[in-house]
Amino acid sequence: MLSTADMDSLTARFRAVDLVHLAMLGLLVAASLFVWNDAMHAGWLLGLNAVLFAAVAGLAAGPFTRLDPPKAALARLAVSYFLVAALFNELAALVPALNPLRYDGQLRGFDADILLFDPAHSLAFLHHPLLSDFFAAGYFSFYVLPFAFFAVLYRQGLVEPLAAANAAIVTGFYVSFLGNALVPAASPFRTPGLFEAELAGLWLHEPLHYLVAQYEAHELSAFPSGHILVAAIIVLLAARWCPRQAPVFLLWGLWLLLGTLYLGYHYLVDALAALALAPLCAWSGTRLSLRLDWARGTA
């Protein structure tokens, strides 16, 4: 049996992002148990999350401790990318079992009645094939946005900010996942007949739209917008740690925001909720990293 000193030594090896992953995986283990009698895949999901929990804890307490800080930070980035993608797809099975309600109508009504923005009509005057291609490229660029931000931090030798950014961005993703479970809703573009006129592009819109529709398995992921939430976190962190590149990330975030609304990938309220949550996620992730990682002088 481990002594208190052994436990302190073990937990001292964990970094902020490790704890964020473990907290989310613990919630998913509990959720899998909660829906055991209702979800066909509950047993499989329970086993998967338990294995992932053990793997994250084992890597943090073992192999990662033998790496120098830059390599450890990069290794944790690789784990984060894998886990975020895996858990997002897992929610496709778990969210409907956790919460059978659907809030698509309420979100559209909130947009139309409170915000005076109807996704079926508000941006119709902008529809043009070139714009469709332009915004499709912007929306799809989300998948390289975090890579670009981390690359800037790494090239500037900002290892501890890189670790803190990892924790903050992962926190943003997981907060959006929790929002998906609390408010399950499909994006406007997944609602048949919502748009009076289908968008058309020249070269990019159709193939990129097909990839999003086919390979983003978790369809009830409208609220809040994870894309906007993570992009906003990156803009905030860029302003803090790499101000020279911050305008680029701000323009990139605006490109993503406008494309999200133009293409109907999210309701306006999804984007506003994401923008409201971004400062909290950025602050909590970096604060946790400052208390745990920077105090030890290593990422």
CB 227 within 8 A of CB 260: yes
Mean pLDDT score of the chain: 86
pLDDT band for 39, please (50, 70, 90 cuts): low
Domain boundaries, the chain: 87-296
pTM of the model: 0.91
Note the pLDDT of residue 2: 37
With tokens 């992932």, the residue in question is 52
Closest CA to 272 of 205, 222, 234, 201: 222
Query: pLDDT tens digits for 208-223?
Result: 777 777 777 788 999 9
Query: pLDDT tens digits for 95-149?
Result: 988 888 999 889 999 998 889 888 777 777 778 888 888 998 899 899 999 999 9
Longest dimension (CA), the chain: 68
Closest CA to 120 of 183, 185, 184, 189: 189
Query: pLDDT tens digits for 79-97?
Result: 999 999 999 988 988 898 8
DSSP letters, 30-50, are: HHHHHTTTT-TTHHHHHHHHH
CA pair distance 259, 171, nearest whole angstrom: 24
Residues in the chain: 299
Note the pLDDT of residue 8: 41
With tokens 């436990």, the residue in question is 7
CB 198 within 8 A of CB 130: no
* Average pLDDT rounded to a whole number, residues 279-294: 89
Query: pLDDT tens digits for 196-207?
Result: 556 776 787 778
SS3 breakdown of the chain: % helix, strand, coil, rounded to 5? 75, 0, 25
* Average pLDDT rounded to a whole number, residues 144-173: 94
**What are the phi and psi torsion angles at 243 (to 5°)?**
-60, -25
